[in-house]
Amino acid sequence: MTAHLPGMLFSILGSVEIRHPDGTAVAVAGAKRQAILALLLLEGGRTVSTDRLLEGLYADGPLADAANALHGQMSRLRRLVRGTGATIESARPDTASP
């Protein structure tokens, strides 16, 4: 997946939040969602594979339905940035980019 985040500010140390260009803060709830956002941001605009995201989320190995759970979390992240000019896009079926 790929994220295009023009004018957005992100806080990933302490409480995880997205700051819109107007200064409005949106909290990112849920540990998995926060971890996904942090993993995408740390890649600095590069495409991130689904496997890499799953490795980052499940250090002891992904659960049987981890890929489905990841897709649900990505959908929720997309809703958080909707209407801000920022996007999180699927580059290929098995990748994501910040």
pLDDT tier at 3 (50, 70, 90 boundaries)? low
Residue 13 lies in a domain: yes
- Reply yes or no on whether the pLDDT at 4 is more than 60: no
Residue 17 lies in a domain: yes
Summarised one tens digit per residue, pLDDT across range 9-64 is 777 677 777 877 777 888 888 888 888 888 888 887 788 888 889 988 887 776 78
Structural domain harbouring 38: 2-92
- Reply yes or no on whether the pLDDT at 1 is more than 80: no
pLDDT computed for residue 97 by the predictor: 55
How far, in Å, CA of 78 to CA of 87, rounded?
7
Q: Which two tokens stand for residue 74?
A: 């990505």
pLDDT computed for residue 92 by the predictor: 63
Q: Identify the CATH number of the domain in which residue 21 sits.
A: 1.10.10.10
Residue 28 lies in a domain: yes
If you ran DSSP here, which 8-state letter would residue 63 be given? -
